[in-house]
Chain A
């Protein structure tokens, strides 16, 4: 309970929720004037001829470093590529990668991670052109932290603030797989082997979505930390609208559902690393779904709700038994006792 009152950074500040935004606003954005920085989007867009240059950066740390469906190397590439894609920059010019390594780190593991970085880079057509390596003394860092920056080009910049009343909310696939897979691996729960992280570069999928919908695509965001609830709350807040979701429509894999039931953790609040939320006009919904369904990473894409006028930032879930409000939380979800 003293976390809020204390004068120290706590894990709460890194969990992607309101506490993190508050930390950024009160510490890092002090004196910052540039509107692109103040927008607190996934990246920043700068005009470049008749196009836009989009720049973003991301630091990755995950325990364990290897998890079902991926590892920290793949995660670091996909995280940056997806941040660029969410702003419309599906054409990635370059990535940089900096590795901060703890003394004593296993070289074989490092090799596997580097290979994985390269593979993901090829898969995303996002070349890693520059890098940096630092080794810290034992105990000064937990294993490995990768920091990645990316530069991409967009014909049209899409913002996470662009939702309009009446828009359909589309998720590009099943919800909660990454967060639940990592949690299961971290605590060696020995759950179903079908539970795998969804970590994947989305730029190809998003390029197809943008080509199919043009100006009808109003907003995008990838539901990473804090999951679908955090991402949609932020989108609704920035656009001054509310969102109503239909619970039965939300795609959840059987393995993720089983893990979430066992742990008592809602798949809607855990991270995804290969999914996007898109806001599109109702008229263009079918075109969007057709484009997504024809892509390997969008087969389970579906419309899960609609944007309404009402209370800014509010998120509602219709269950068929009634309606509940979904609230953003601070901190990582904790598994329950019984």
Chain B
């Protein structure tokens, strides 16, 4: 039950009284800047906590908090999903994290493939892939998605003497590369970034130092409870107010400056940075985590190269040209700016990936009632 008396208890970061004090403080610092501000958070979990606690409506009117490319499911490219569906259709046992299941590729999702009878199972931890592969003879493909946090878990199983029938289809992404793309976008209104605390537990806050030097925008690493987000936003607005371009760690209970060196060593041992497409955004240099050649015997992209090449020719279809996921994830538009949002694009029938994942900005807005707010605003005006 909710008790926030103990300040060391995680629930104390949800304390309503402290939260309201921080909300008041945020209004003060934004008012002191005397102009509208736009900042971006780069994590679906930040948007989730904002939506889950209904915090967006209490943000000062002059503070625009945009969602960035922070949903790993949303940025997993359609051809990668098509490829894994092709493997499943060819009779390969596919393992995936649950939130990838319903994401549409060019035409279909893994869930559709499963309905057709393909062997697709949901796992919760990379280690389950290891266990499953060890208990079978047939090839098992783990569709490995996510950012630094899940990439370390994938790397770890490949260092645990995996059986020869375990293959990894890596679609892992490296977040800092995507922040650079956003910062370089011409006309980008973003004045500062709220960086993802989870990913920074691995990478450390130091990873943003060169970004801050290059792009002259402050970065505040923030956690995922309501008070974390509010205090992170306050730090960020204070940096902008004082024209301080620096990295602030507002999540020191989990994040250190150097990060988790052991985890990083595991990650870099198995993966190398490559160029890769982020769905709806762009080809991002250094944004893709590729398996190193040393692990080629477990690389599904190599093991099934012929099958995948054939499937790619068969399934390629251009994505909907009116879907605005890319603009939404780069801070150039909001879900309610999209004509499909809440109308033709809904959680049960998504057009863009942002509506699929529980981390997707459109899904989060939809489920926290944004279509209804928009409708109410229309009827008032």
* Bound CA–CA A322/B226 (angstroms): 11
Contact B109 A334 (CB under 8 A): no
A323: CB under 8 A from chain B? yes
Shortest Cβ distance from B149 into A: residue:
A338
B104: CB under 8 A from chain A? yes
- B residues near A33, Cβ cutoff 8 Å: none
B258: CB under 8 A from chain A? no
Contact B149 A334 (CB under 8 A): no
Instruction: Quote the shortest CB–CB distance from A85 to chain B (angstroms).
Output: 26
Quick one: which of B48, B54, B99, B366 contacts A319, CB cutoff 8 A? Answer: B54
Contact with B along A138-165 (1 / 0, CB 8 A): 0000000000000000000000000000
Contact A3 B349 (CB under 8 A): yes
Contact A334 B20 (CB under 8 A): no
Contact with A along B46-74 (1 / 0, CB 8 A): 00100111111110000000000000110
Which of these binds chain A: B262-270, B305-313, B367-375?
B367-375
- A residues near B23, Cβ cutoff 8 Å: 321
A107: CB under 8 A from chain B? no
Given A321-B23, A322-B57, are A337 and B146 also a contact pair (CB < 8 Å)?
yes
Shortest Cβ distance from A311 into B: residue:
B372
Contact B358 A264 (CB under 8 A): yes
Contact B73 A327 (CB under 8 A): no
Near A by CB (< 8 A), chain B positions 122-178 give 122-124, 145-147, 149-150
* Bound CA–CA A324/B373 (angstroms): 10
Q: Counting chain A CB atoms within 10 Å of each CB, which of B100, B104, B358 scores highest?
A: B358
Instruction: Quote the shortest CB–CB distance from B58 to chain A (angstroms).
Output: 5
Contact B348 A331 (CB under 8 A): yes
Contact A337 B97 (CB under 8 A): yes
Instruction: Quote the shortest CB–CB distance from A152 to chain B (angstroms).
Output: 33
Quick one: which of B226, B350, B359 contacts A337, CB cutoff 8 A? Answer: B359
Instruction: Quote the shortest CB–CB distance from A177 to chain B (angstroms).
Output: 13
Given A187-B124, A322-B56, A338-B147, are A12 and B97 also a contact pair (CB < 8 Å)?
no
A39: CB under 8 A from chain B? no
- B residues near A3, Cβ cutoff 8 Å: 111-112, 115, 348-349
- B residues near A254, Cβ cutoff 8 Å: 1
Secondary structure of the A contact surface, majority rule: loop
A-B contact count (CB 8 A): 128
Shortest Cβ distance from A188 into B: residue:
B128
* Bound CA–CA A252/B11 (angstroms): 13
**Interface residues in A, total, Cβ within 8 A:** 43
Given A327-B369, A336-B357, are A1 and B98 also a contact pair (CB < 8 Å)?
no
A112: CB under 8 A from chain B? no
* Bound CA–CA A263/B367 (angstroms): 18
B19: CB under 8 A from chain A? yes
Quick one: which of B20, B109, B357 contacts A1, CB cutoff 8 A? Answer: B109
B8: CB under 8 A from chain A? no
Instruction: Quote the shortest CB–CB distance from B168 to chain A (angstroms).
Output: 15
Contact B150 A338 (CB under 8 A): yes
Given A187-B122, A189-B124, A319-B54, are A334 and B198 also a contact pair (CB < 8 Å)?
no
Contact A327 B367 (CB under 8 A): yes
Contact A336 B98 (CB under 8 A): yes
Near A by CB (< 8 A), chain B positions 318-343 give none
A2: CB under 8 A from chain B? yes
Instruction: Quote the shortest CB–CB distance from A280 to chain B (angstroms).
Output: 22
A60: CB under 8 A from chain B? no
Contact B115 A8 (CB under 8 A): yes
Q: Counting chain A CB atoms within 10 Å of each CB, which of B57, B99, B101 scores highest?
A: B99
Given A1-B109, A338-B149, A338-B150, are A321 and B16 also a contact pair (CB < 8 Å)?
yes
With A4-B349, A322-B58 known, 10 other A-B pairs at CB within 8 A are A187-B122, A311-B372, A319-B55, A322-B56, A324-B53, A324-B369, A331-B102, A335-B98, A337-B100, A337-B357
Chain A positions within 8 Å of B, measured between CB atoms, are 1-6, 8, 10-12, 19, 187, 189, 248, 251-254, 263-264, 266, 311, 314, 317-327, 329-331, 333-338
Chain B positions within 8 Å of A, measured between CB atoms, are 1-2, 16, 19-20, 23, 45, 48, 51-58, 72-73, 97-102, 104, 107-109, 111-112, 115, 122-124, 145-147, 149-150, 198, 226, 347-351, 357-359, 366-369, 372
